[in-house]
Amino acid sequence: MNDDKDNDYEFARETLYDMICKGREGVEEMLEVAKQSEHPRAYEVLSKLLKDTSDVSNQLLTLHKQKKDIEKEDVAALPKAETTNNVFIGSTTDLQRLLKDVNSEKDITPDAIDSGHN
């Protein structure tokens, strides 16, 4: 599923880049046409082409933001490592030794509990 999102993102990004590049080329060509013809319609088309290219550039930035937001959601959706119920299996004497050792900040290993129980 993650590969699909990455592939879709890359495809959309490449498409937007291609549209921006073609829009730039079109602006340059239309600018020449408008200069040579000095016709108001040519300048109107140039203006529209500039706006459309700018809009596609904004769409590219929006795409990056959307990808970042999706990645944040994916990370937030992961379950947190949280322990809600702990079970101690042993005798009450073992539990008291364990608690005593925790309070005195000693390193507790199962061997230490077993050796004290013998």
CATH classification at residue 33: 1.10.287.1060
pLDDT of residue 118: 45
| CA dist., res. 86 & res. 92, Å (int) | 15
Element (H, E) at 72: helix 40-77
Residue predicted with more confidence, 37 or 3: 37
Q: In which band, very low, low, confident or very high, does the pLDDT at 2 lie, cut at 50, 70 and 90?
A: confident
4-48 pLDDT per residue, tens = 888 999 999 999 999 999 999 999 999 999 999 999 999 999 999
| CA dist., res. 14 & res. 97, Å (int) | 64
Count of Cβ atoms closer than 10 Å to residue 41 Cβ: 9
| CA dist., res. 86 & res. 82, Å (int) | 11
Number of domains within the chain: 2
Kindly state the tokens that stand for 64: 């990056």
Domain residue limits at 20: 2-77
Note whether 60 and 17 are same-domain residues: yes
